[in-house]
Amino acid sequence: MRKLLVIAVSIFTLVACTSKTETTEPKEENPTQISQEQNKPSQEAGCIKDSTGKGLKVLLINGSPRKNGNTYLALMEAAKQLEQNGIASELLQIGTEPAQGCIACNHCKKTGRCVFEDDLYNRAYNLMSECDAIIVGSPTYYGQPNGTLLCLIQRLCYSASNLMQNKPAAAVAVCRRGGATAVYQTLLMPFQMLNMPIVTSQYWNIVYGRDEGEAALDEEGLQTMRTMANNMAWMLKKIHNDTETPIREKEHKVTNFIK
């Protein structure tokens, strides 16, 4: 009887508290020395729930074409720490396909979706609607974020601003030597005009490394990731304990100086 009870409780816990850091990409074999399995968070996540009973989840976007590179390592460090806090995450890989930028057609203002319904955009949009926060990471390319990532983020923010409002956001920049602060600031810019609380850390969210895997040696950088994740978990718990969202003025004023 006791044995039966233990089994029943275990099944219930498994169902009620699904352990997840899902990866929507990549599906192919991992060619690098750092395997995704090695870096997957090991403990249960998704136990912390919102007012509807849904487990809280953070969207992680790896803005590097190197799917298991240093940006991936930095994001996984944050994911593991989120999981320690009972919060799940899902990774979206920017990949290596050509990117579509925003063409300012304003189609999304009428439909709520970008006119280009490519796979990457659709996955990002759907994940943003189901996730409660976002962490975007990018390698530093000539002192700038990866252009592919910027194409996606700009289209996502323009079309899905309603899904992003009030959700905590953090940026992570990875570099060999310099330019990461510019990347960090650039990544934060759209979030700062979508009423998204910015999650900070003990330092700017920067991790150092050049070749794939080198970021694992940047102890301070990885600690910065863990602190950021703890801060994000703390903020999410605070927000979802109190289901009220901040009051916003109904009319969004637009002041264009050139008529």
Ligand X SMILES: Cc1cc2nc3c(=O)[nH]c(=O)nc-3n(C[C@H](O)[C@H](O)[C@H](O)COP(=O)(O)O)c2cc1C
Q: Which residues bind ligand X (CB under 6 A)?
A: 64, 66, 69-71, 139-143, 174-179, 209-210, 212
How far apart (Å, rounded) are the C-alpha atoms in residues 243 and 92? Answer: 27
DSSP 8-state symbol, 102: P
In single-letter form, the type of residue at position 155 comes to R
CB of 154 to ligand X, least distance (A): 20
CB of 75 to ligand X, least distance (A): 9
CB of 214 to ligand X, least distance (A): 7
**Closest CB to ligand X among residues 56, 59:** 59
CB of 47 to ligand X, least distance (A): 30
**Closest CB to ligand X among residues 112, 178:** 178
Specify whether the CB–CB gap between 223 and 74 falls below 8 A: no
In single-letter form, the type of residue at position 39 comes to N
Cα torsion 90, 96, 100, 101: sign: positive
In three-state secondary structure terms, 208 is strand
Q: Checking phi first, is residue 112 left (phi over 0); if not, alpha (psi -120 to 50) or beta?
A: left
In three-state secondary structure terms, 124 is helix
**Closest CB to ligand X among residues 90, 212:** 212
CB of 144 to ligand X, least distance (A): 8
**Closest CB to ligand X among residues 71, 85:** 71
Residue 124's φ and ψ, nearest 5 degrees, are -60, -45
**Closest CB to ligand X among residues 140, 230:** 140
Kindly state the tokens that stand for 73: 């390592």
**Closest CB to ligand X among residues 132, 212:** 212
CB of 210 to ligand X, least distance (A): 4
CB of 65 to ligand X, least distance (A): 7
**Closest CB to ligand X among residues 70, 159:** 70
How far apart (Å, rounded) are the C-alpha atoms in residues 29 and 241? Answer: 41
Q: Helix, strand, coil: what percent of the chain each, to 5?
A: 40, 15, 45
Burial class (CB in 10 A: 0-12, 13-18, 19+), 1: exposed
